[in-house]
Amino acid sequence: MTAKIISGTETAKAIREELKAEIAELKEKHNVVPGLVTILVGEDPASQSYVTAKNKTAHALGINSKQVTLSADTSEDDLLALIDKYNKDDACNGILVQLPLPKHINEGRVLYAINPVKDVDGFHPVNVGKMVLGEQCFLPCTPHGVLELLIRSGIETSGAEVVVVGRSNIVGKPMVNLMLQKREAGNATVTVCHTRTKDMASHTRRADIIIAAAGVPKMITADMVKEGVVIIDVGVNRIGMSESGKAILVGDVDFDSVKEKAAAITPVPGGVGPMTITMLMKNTVQAARQAAGWI
């Protein structure tokens, strides 16, 4: 079996076209332009490229997006003051602080400071709590993107054995929660594997769907999966530089060998990555609609 390639690039493109039309209509009918502020602290090259991509996409869709870049030695108080400023700014519907933050800044304190109605990353405990309860909220962008990919690729999750590899706050934990909910792309039987899991292959071999978010290059190999598995690879690992100076990226799954056994698989790059950015745009539009009184 050679796997069907699940293209995040194509799916994201389709959603972005829908959003572009929605944003144009918001402006035309209601004079509402969604506003997003992205805040980057420091010079981590991966974070820089993610934030640049987020702003570029926002502009292309008609979102009023502003990027604020702060030096790595910015104090926590200065960052909190900036968040407070945008919490009070009506033109700003969404605030995103790129993670990870420098070690001297308390991540929890920063994320808690963002007004939950502007928390387009879905990281504030109010949104996390609502997500767990299945209430209307901002869903975190990467897990949200995975759900959309599954739905739009026609992959049945109801009753499926889903194995999530990784337990981060950004991907693993919300992914587990979303996939067990009574909702579209939910109703799965979910197992979560992590660094302390004994015999991970015994779990992954049972999986109908594997969602790999461990941050370990090519960790899932062909001998760890069953024939016909669906693979969603969230990993983006930089393993070097090409001659032209571009980062060489690989996922958490050994794509070349696993694609021979899988029914469907996301590539890296071009899989989950474009979906994450697109769901940020979707959340920003949702925030603008809410701020304008649920138009």
- Name the residues annotated as catalytic: 54, 98, 121
In one-letter notation, the amino acid at residue 231 is: I
Residue 170 near ligand GUN by CB under 6 A:
yes
Instruction: Give the shortest CB-49-to-ligand GUN separation in angstroms.
Output: 11
**Piece in contact with ligand GUN (CB under 6 A), picked from 7-15, 60-68, 92-100, 147-155:** 92-100
Please name which of 220, 214, 230 lies closest in space to residue 161, comparing C-alpha atoms. 230
Instruction: Give the shortest CB-276-to-ligand GUN separation in angstroms.
Output: 6
User: 291 and 89 in contact (C-beta within 8 Å)?
Assistant: no
Residue 61 near ligand GUN by CB under 6 A:
no
232-264: burial string, b at 16+ Cβ within 10 Å, e else: bbbbbbeeeeeeeeeeebbbbbbbeebbebbbb
Q: For ligand GUN, which residue of 70, 99, 160, 201 counts as binding (CB under 6 A)?
A: 99
Which residues in the 261-280 window bind ligand GUN by CB under 6 A?
A: 276
**Which residues are CB-contacts of 88 (< 8 A; sequence separation ≥ 6)?**
none
Instruction: Give the shortest CB-215-to-ligand GUN separation in angstroms.
Output: 10
**Piece in contact with ligand GUN (CB under 6 A), picked from 8-16, 19-27, 90-98, 287-295:** 90-98
Instruction: Give the shortest CB-38-to-ligand GUN separation in angstroms.
Output: 8
Distance CA 223, CA 205 (A): 8
Alpha helices in 31-120 (DSSP H): 45-61, 76-87, 107-113
Decide: helix, strand or coil at residue 198.
coil
What are the tokens at 190?
Answer: 């979910």
Instruction: Give the shortest CB-123-to-ligand GUN separation in angstroms.
Output: 7
Which value, to the nearest 10 degrees, does the dihedral of the CA atoms of residues 116, 119, 121, 122 take? 20
Size of the site for ligand GUN (CB under 6 A): 9
119-157: burial string, b at 16+ Cβ within 10 Å, e else: bbbbbbebbbebbeeeeebbbbbbbbbbbbbbebbebeb
**Piece in contact with ligand GUN (CB under 6 A), picked from 58-66, 97-105, 126-134, 144-152:** 97-105
**Piece in contact with ligand GUN (CB under 6 A), picked from 91-99, 155-163, 175-183, 248-256:** 91-99
- Closest residue (Cβ) to ligand GUN? 99
Instruction: Give the shortest CB-272-to-ligand GUN separation in angstroms.
Output: 11
**Piece in contact with ligand GUN (CB under 6 A), picked from 62-70, 95-103, 215-223, 267-275:** 95-103
Residue 229 near ligand GUN by CB under 6 A:
no
Residue 96 near ligand GUN by CB under 6 A:
yes
User: 7 and 270 in contact (C-beta within 8 Å)?
Assistant: yes
Decide: helix, strand or coil at residue 26.
helix
Residue 121 near ligand GUN by CB under 6 A:
yes
Distance CA 55, CA 37 (A): 9
Closer residue to ligand GUN, CB minimum distance, 214 or 258: 214
Closer residue to ligand GUN, CB minimum distance, 70 or 200: 70
Residue 141 near ligand GUN by CB under 6 A:
yes
Residue 127 near ligand GUN by CB under 6 A:
no
Which residues make up the interface to ligand GUN (CB under 6 A)? 96-99, 121, 141-142, 170, 276
